[in-house]
Amino acid sequence: MRRLRLTTLTLLVVLGAIGCDSGGRKEEVARRGRLVMPFDLDRTTHTFQPRPDGGVQEVVADRPDQEQVRLIRDHLQKESEAFARGDFGDPARIHGDDMPGLTALIGGYDRIRVTYEPIRDGGRIVYTTSDEDLVEAIHEWFAAQVSDHGEHAEHAD
């Protein structure tokens, strides 16, 4: 029953963000994103794939170009190291301190394994935990990012 409630909450967060946004929030997130992420958002796609034990976040260059791929990989490696230390400052700067799931991730970072790996045309961060509450926080965090990034992000099943 708990999982159903949390899944419903995640859906409501995403639907609320989509329904309430006239484009202003997505534009603000894109503006902040350009200050934090060194690669070109308009030339990349972010994919968020929830998993039963956490999730996978990927960023790839839409049309492979060595410089974009290098920027993606450098950024994701840096972010994965920060997340493993409980530093989620960059996502907070982009999405706000009240981003769904963020408080739980900061408080439970030491129970989440965060790893980076390069992939074709980009990079990947894998989040793994046995803590069900943190798995839900990761899923909520992913859903919020997909909603906020609009055309630059997608939810993978």
For the segment 105-133, what is each residue's pLDDT rounded down to a tens digit?
Answer: 999 999 999 999 999 999 999 999 999 99
Angle (deg, nearest 10), helices 2-20 and 132-149: 20
Our CA angle for 131, 137, 139, nearest 5°, is 105
Domain count, the chain: 1
Q: What is the pLDDT of residue 15?
A: 41
Q: Tell me the residue range of the domain where 79 lies.
A: 2-155
Q: Say which residues have a Cβ less than 8 Å from residue 117's Cβ, sequence separation at least 6.
A: 123, 124, 126
Q: What is the pLDDT of residue 13?
A: 44
Phi, psi (degrees; rounded to nearest 5) at 5: -60, -45
The pTM (predicted TM-score) of the whole model is 0.77
Q: Residue 149 corresponds to which tokens in the numbers above?
A: 């990034």
Q: Residue 134 above 80 pLDDT? A: yes
